[in-house]
Structure 1
């Protein structure tokens, strides 16, 4: 007999990856949303497996001192699934994220590290930062956000973590007939705005007027994006260089993340004039551009990206530097072609699925003196760090950044060096 819908009282023991907390009921593990470690809660079961239950805390019987009132009316059990931690103070959010990263490193990679999550500048209240928001549209044409682990849509009048430029477009105040979803994009460094619309019909219907002027693009089945009017994307400026980013492409969604991560990567790698630098999963060329400037015209900056739109962006953005080469290819396949290349420094910034064994082995086979791995998922990061360890590279440093306040997501930067070099550094530190 199913236990979905049952309610239980339990004490929450700890935080878990994915925005959950963990407790037990009759020796059954229960993953709970909307709770905090140390709380006594009433949980309604939403999902049952052979090994554990999932549920939502529908009543807080004994509250944690870290609990605060959620600023958004759409955050809570059965509502929007976008924000995991609005009921926790920002200090507590960062502390829990650091604990999750540490736990994943320990459990998956056998690496024991205390991780402190750093606040990014510009969003002291944790709101108004997300420069790209994808709204789903219900059968009545209302824009909203998906509920957690469900197909249902929560209509919202405003998303509080959305950047002001996204809010200005008025997507949630507009009806969207015959539209499946609307992605709203705002540049954090200029006035560029764009919406990417996915119609439910083969022909694009007449679109409503938005509150603020913007480019309009259409997303086809399979992900291809076509401009309807205006620019194909938005412009962002990082470290004095302007980047064109297609509206459907990848860019860090926190306004400060581009600058902070670029500075952190460059400080970790310290690329030198004349060196060969690789940027794997390079997107629109953010790290490639910084590496190219550091290695100079006598060096090489080699980027790889599988997305055609991103490759076009990167090629355009870095067109003034002859030392740059950007290839459109699967990263693992391209590294096989570059098997004879000697890379001095390497950056990896893979999607949530991580780099994977083949990519890690190819990178370590090039024997770079330093590797910087940027990751938005601590579990796949830990998995890949374990492979780096097996391939002769040691984790020298790890930093974590609160690039996604109010959610469970966290951006990490892991710095690796060959074991022989790492030992030499440790001996020097001891001396």
Structure 2
């Protein structure tokens, strides 16, 4: 066992886990003051629920390759409850449990991301039901499509499911998704769009009405997300080597450039660069570089960041033009940013991109992967959300939404400015 790589993976897992509380701060600062507990609890609720489901059966669905299969729809019965991965495999570089822990944090943050689309108006219990069902039928299988490992038809060990490896048999190149642009960001963004449509618009929804109540929370959350993202991206190499170092550098360069790109668009469009814009731009760049961090030269990572920051700054306006209420711009940042980063590889991936010595094949497989995950996640998220809404109800009453749902749903207030007994 390589103790250095084992420590690297475990530290990366801890960094990625920190991203979920970071997301809670980021989302919590963006909502109104009377909804901050509700918003942050959806992230922490996902952390608790998905953490348990991952151990019970999530890993067995996402990584059936531990029993030797690369089939996209299968489950490793021996991995239920992690029973067959407790012991160190002879000759392995790191314990399978280290990989289990690392991937668990991906599942948690992906589910938590979706919650931003339904801020200010969702029941906590309904959200938890959605989170559990969506993770089971969408995230766990899609993670298998992208991250699975096992024995191929030729009997050789292969890393990657049908999305990252299977298309190679047809097009000669496989899909590049280094750390989860499809499985995490396109997946979560598509589900967020579906839920926004199911729950409908907030009361009084229009541009300028709903403003962030705590920009310092937003900046704190973005900082924690960026810090954790080094584990997310560099850790996906599963080894402390040069590729991990490249992913690390690109995780500095792209979001830094995206932050600047977003602020420039804000200045041109609205006259003032904002702190929320800076935080959102950084996150947009982090999203875009996720699939590409191990396959781009740093200069091209900067270009990707500038493009993602500028385009996502414009994309968040789509909800007003198209009439869907994606409360915290999960669609505009994660879906759009994930699509940009995934497709960008078709042009600039080292060695295979259209402008980097390759042909159109890389772009074609990147597009197939993006569309497949988007469609699958959107349709199933819509069905699950619609079923919950029509049975137990997903949305709170309008009067509770107007008053602020923290006290109604959780019996707590985010801010107590004076002692009621004084």
TM-score, normalisation: structure 2:
0.24
Q: Which has the higher helix share?
A: 2
Higher RCO (C-alpha 8 Å, min separation 6): 2
Q: Which has the higher strand share?
A: 1
Which has the greater radius of gyration?
1
